[in-house]
Amino acid sequence: MRVIVGLAILILGSTGGEIAITHGMKSAGEPARLRPREVLQFLGRAVRNGWFWTGVPLMALSFYALLLLLSWEPISLVIPASALSYVAGTFGAKFILGEDVNTVRWAGVILVCVGVALVAAG
């Protein structure tokens, strides 16, 4: 049971953090050119964005869950199971960020699920 909870924290934390930071970065805009001043202004906008600071602790929580899982289970199970974050990320991109996810990407999500199931069964 603790492994399932740990995996849920890992997957939801990393996916939630990535979605929050993506939202923050998109609202911060992008530097027009990669000149030091413009990059620093962009970074300033990013760190003043609440979505950025929502994502950072979620990703940190995910990292600590990964450390716990690696102390409990073999890496040959933990890392493939953590690939389910790709599945959660694709759903988040589609339904939270409103991105267009094409059929090929959905096929990739299905392949990830099949791969995780095979690893878990073995």
Every domain of the chain and the residues it spans: 2-121
Would you state the pLDDT for residue 16? 96
Per-residue pLDDT of the chain (122 residues; tens, 9 = 90+): 999 999 999 999 999 999 999 999 888 888 888 899 998 988 898 889 999 999 999 999 999 999 999 999 999 889 888 888 989 999 999 999 999 999 999 999 999 899 888 888 87
Encoding tokens for residue 60? 């940190």
Give dist(CA 58, CA 14) in Å, integer.
Answer: 6
Would you state the pLDDT for residue 29? 83
Mention every residue, 6+ apart, whose C-beta is less than 8 A from residue 109. 86, 87, 90
Give dist(CA 10, CA 83) in Å, integer.
Answer: 10
Burial, 73: exposed, middle or buried (Cβ in 10 Å; 0-12, 13-18, 19+)?
Answer: middle
HEC string for 70-115: HHHCCHHHHHHHHCHHHHHHHHHHHHCCCCCCCHHHHHHHHHHHHH
Give dist(CA 54, CA 16) in Å, integer.
Answer: 9
Would you state the pLDDT for residue 71? 96
Would you state the pLDDT for residue 94? 94
